[in-house]
Amino acid sequence: MTLTTSSPDVAPKVLSIHDVPANRRRGGDIRTLLSPGTVGAKSGFLGTLTLQPGEIVTEHWHPYSEEFLYCVSGRVTARLDGEHTALPAEHGLLIPIGTRHRIVNDGDETAFLVFHLSPLAPRPELGHVDTEPLPRGPDPQP
């Protein structure tokens, strides 16, 4: 008997944060590295978030996905359903499905985070529900 350990329609692929464009629609510098669109992922997606001091990611929630957020460096505050939770470097946070969340870099250094969401929404446009106005910067991207 032969065990197959990989899906025949998805090949392993390595990407850098420099291989994908920044999405600044909700604030900060969000880069989705491993996703259905970039590598053919089937169960979720992974990316990075860079927030300069004072920057935010506007409040939203995910109707289908839970989010894992890991702060690599810096420090942020997550507002989860109105409650503030500190997330310092080298700490992780689980954001349950349906939880409204907003991320703020209220520190004095750049914060760098890694996130993963799973499972996927049935369609990409159903994955996020915005609950506050999006920032209006000079470089908004869809």
For residue 47, give its domain range. 17-107
Give the total number of structural domains in the chain.
1
What's the pLDDT at 7?
57
Indicate the pTM of the whole model: 0.87
In a domain, 92, yes or no: yes
What's the pLDDT at 76?
98
In a domain, 41, yes or no: yes
In a domain, 112, yes or no: no
What's the pLDDT at 134?
83
> Per the structure block, which two tokens stand in for 114?
């890694």
Residue 141 pLDDT level (bands cut at 50, 70, 90) = very low
Phi-psi region of 42 (alpha: psi -120 to 50; beta: other; left: phi over 0): alpha
Number of H helices, E strands in the chain: 1, 10
Residue 11 pLDDT level (bands cut at 50, 70, 90) = confident
If you average pLDDT over every residue of the chain, what do you get? 90
CA-to-CA distance for 85 and 109, rounded, in angstroms? 18
In a domain, 113, yes or no: no
CATH number of the domain where residue 43 is located: 2.60.120.10
> Per the structure block, which two tokens stand in for 73?
């460096």
